[in-house]
């Protein structure tokens, strides 16, 4: 999901000044203090993982969305349906971070009780880097699948390539690891590649395109049809077009957690001894590189692209929020 690659030669910025800047920005946009701090924390956590396209770079845009009422700055997220291991939330037009977090947290609680928890959310905006949400579950020792709709609704009327019409729904799965081992977290967009690149791939094989289309279709079918069963009125909040689903599994209900971790580690160790894919210098499991970045960036600062910090600087000066990283 990272559309901005990490250049480790870029200037480093410590996470706390960025978090404080983002928090004050969201408070100025009308979010309650607690919600502003929560949202800022998610964005900085995303930066720490090196997913720079989905981190604090978005602060000015989100502020605009709150102030223009594209998103509700003070949503009252509520449960609209609950039965057994399932629960459904209405995001009340707010940004999707809050509805996503509440949904996964509830699914974790359900999984502790029933072995599996299923949570669904609707009527919310951008869900951000959704590895944030699967990591909520893995930190609780749970397996999690999470997917949501794309920010822009799919256009299934205008004739175009089917993969372009289905947009880039995010998809994530997380698998807990034994203490001291990196969590396996898959966090990606389901759109395999832009149309021009797809044409180049098709000259070699259409199989990857077909598999990518299958993943896009899955993300659609487990979100949009369910949302349509109980349609929500976003009211004035035009950006609340997203819906989401979280499936959480408690490994302890399936057998020995120690055996689960032992087998997972065996797989990880075995994969690490294989040859890397062409163009890569080592084998890493999904989430391992991001975990390494988090350790590095938390201690030494986040390597931000100059355009990233310039955008925040221009915004901060325009609205009068101190540039805490300059102190």
pLDDT in tens, 20-60: 999 999 999 999 999 999 999 999 999 999 999 999 999 99
Q: Strands 116-124 and 86-90, how do they pair?
A: parallel
Query: Using H for helix, E for strand and C for coil, what is the string for 242-270?
Result: EEEEEEEECHHHCCCHHHHHHHHHHHHHH
The predicted structure's pLDDT at residue 327? 80
Residue in 178, 321, 152 with CA at minimum distance from that of residue 240: 152
Residue in 254, 213, 224 with CA at minimum distance from that of residue 154: 224
Euclidean distance between the first and the last CA atom of the chain, given in angstroms as a whole number: 32
Over the stretch 125-164, which tens digit does the pLDDT of each residue have?
A: 999 999 999 999 999 999 999 999 998 888 899 998 898 8
Share of the chain above pLDDT 70, in %: 98
pLDDT band at 5 (very low <50, low <70, confident <90, very high): confident
Residue in 245, 249, 198, 193 with CA at minimum distance from that of residue 220: 245
DSSP state of 326: G
Over the stretch 165-195, which tens digit does the pLDDT of each residue have?
A: 999 999 999 999 988 888 999 999 999 888 8
pLDDT band at 2 (very low <50, low <70, confident <90, very high): low
DSSP state of 275: P
If you write DSSP's letter for every residue of 293-318 in order, what string do you get? HHHHHHHH-EE--HHHHHHHHHHHHH
d(CA 99, CA 81): 14
Domains parsed from the chain with CATH numbers: 1-68+287-327 (1.10.1530.10), 77-254 (3.30.1370.60)
Q: How many residues does the chain have?
A: 327
Checking phi first, is residue 235 left (phi over 0); if not, alpha (psi -120 to 50) or beta? left
Over the stretch 75-130, which tens digit does the pLDDT of each residue have?
A: 999 999 999 999 999 999 999 999 999 999 999 999 999 999 999 999 999 999 99
d(CA 9, CA 29): 33
pLDDT band at 318 (very low <50, low <70, confident <90, very high): very high
CB-based burial label for 270 (10 Å; 0-12, 13-18, 19+) = exposed
Query: What tokens does 274 get?
Result: 């294989």
Q: pTM (2 decimals)?
A: 0.94
């Amino acid at each position: 999901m990272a559309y901005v690659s990490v250049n480790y030669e870029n200037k480093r910025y410590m996470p706390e000044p960025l978090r404080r800047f983002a928090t004050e920005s969201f408070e100025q946009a009308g979010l309650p203090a607690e919600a502003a701090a929560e949202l800022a924390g998610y964005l900085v956590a995303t930066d720490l993982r090196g997913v720079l396209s989905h981190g604090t770079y978005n602060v000015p845009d989100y502020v605009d969305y709150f102030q223009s009422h594209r998103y509700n700055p003070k949503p009252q997220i509520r449960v609209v349906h609950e039965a057994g291991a399932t629960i459904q939330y209405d995001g009340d037009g707010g940004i999707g971070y809050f509805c996503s977090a509440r949904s996964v947290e509830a699914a974790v609680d359900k999984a502790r009780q029933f072995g599996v928890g299923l949570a669904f959310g609707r009527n919310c905006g951008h869900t951000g880097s959704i590895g944030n949400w699967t990591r909520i579950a893995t930190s609780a020792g749970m397996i999690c699948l999470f997917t949501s709709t794309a920010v822009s609704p799919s256009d299934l009327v205008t004739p175009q390539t089917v993969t372009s019409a289905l947009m880039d729904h995010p998809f994530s799965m997380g698998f807990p690891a034994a203490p001291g081992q990196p969590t396996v977290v898959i966090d990606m967009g389901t759109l395999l590649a832009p149309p021009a690149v797809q044409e180049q791939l098709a000259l070699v094989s259409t199989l990857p395109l077909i598999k990518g289309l299958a993943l896009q279709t899955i993300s659609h079918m487990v979100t949009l049809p369910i949302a349509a069963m109980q349609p929500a009125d976003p009211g004035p909040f035009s950006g609340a077009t997203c819906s989401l689903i979280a499936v959480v599994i408690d490994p302890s209900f399936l057998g020995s957690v120690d055996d689960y971790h032992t087998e997972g580690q065996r797989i990880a160790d075995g994969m690490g001894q294989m040859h890397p894919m062409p163009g890569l210098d080592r084998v890493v499991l999904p989430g391992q590189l991001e975990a390494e970045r988090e350790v590095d960036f938390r201690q030494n600062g986040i390597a931000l692209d100059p355009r990233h910090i310039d955008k925040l600087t221009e915004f901060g000066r325009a609205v009068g929020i101190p540039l805490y990283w300059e102190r």
